[in-house]
Amino acid sequence: MVLVPLMALIFAFIDHGLAIFLQNTFQHAVREGVRYAVTYQRMAGMGQDASIQTVVQRNAMGFLKNCNSCIKIRYYKPDTLAETTENVPGNLVEVSVEGYQLSWMAPLMRKAGTLSIVARAADRMEGLPGGQSPPAR
């Protein structure tokens, strides 16, 4: 009689612990992606956006390995906050993980479903030395 409630409690702790761990991991990953983005770096043979996605995936501890569509990169004009396609100096860059679904291991006292985890980070693009133009996205 004690084993079933005890196991339910243990699984609930594991479920909630995993959700908090994933949220923190994704938040760290998108922060690293923004740090990489503001310096206009690129990996060999990749555009800037693909390089940023790779950095986010590497910092997500393998949880985003099969979820390229979960990583979003957006640029905004600083004066109007309107979304733009340009990665020019002064614009804001936002890197986010959206749409990652975590299935509960033990859906106790709730409907069996998923938890959507979202993490976002943003910063201002740095200036380029010597009047260089920004790299291709």
* Rounded distance between C-alpha atoms, residue 84 and residue 126, angstroms: 16
pLDDT above 90 for 12 = no
- What mean pLDDT do residues 23-27 have? 97
Which pair of structure tokens corresponds to residue 38?
Answer: 């503001």
* Rounded distance between C-alpha atoms, residue 72 and residue 69, angstroms: 7
Q: Dihedral sign, CA of 31, 37, 87, 49? A: negative
Would you state the pLDDT for residue 1?
A: 84
> Kind and range of the H or E element at 24?
helix 3-37
- What mean pLDDT do residues 124-133 have? 81
> Kind and range of the H or E element at 108?
none
How many Cβ atoms are within 10 Å of 53's Cβ, its own excluded? 20
How many Cβ atoms are within 10 Å of 55's Cβ, its own excluded? 22
Instruction: Using only the alpha carbons of the chain, give its radius of gyration.
Output: 19
For tokens 């990953």, name the residue.
Answer: 29
Would you state the pLDDT for residue 27?
A: 98
The per-residue pLDDT for range 76-110, each reduced to its tens digit, is 999 999 999 988 899 999 999 999 998 877 766 66
Which pair of structure tokens corresponds to residue 67?
Answer: 């979820």
Would you state the pLDDT for residue 28?
A: 98
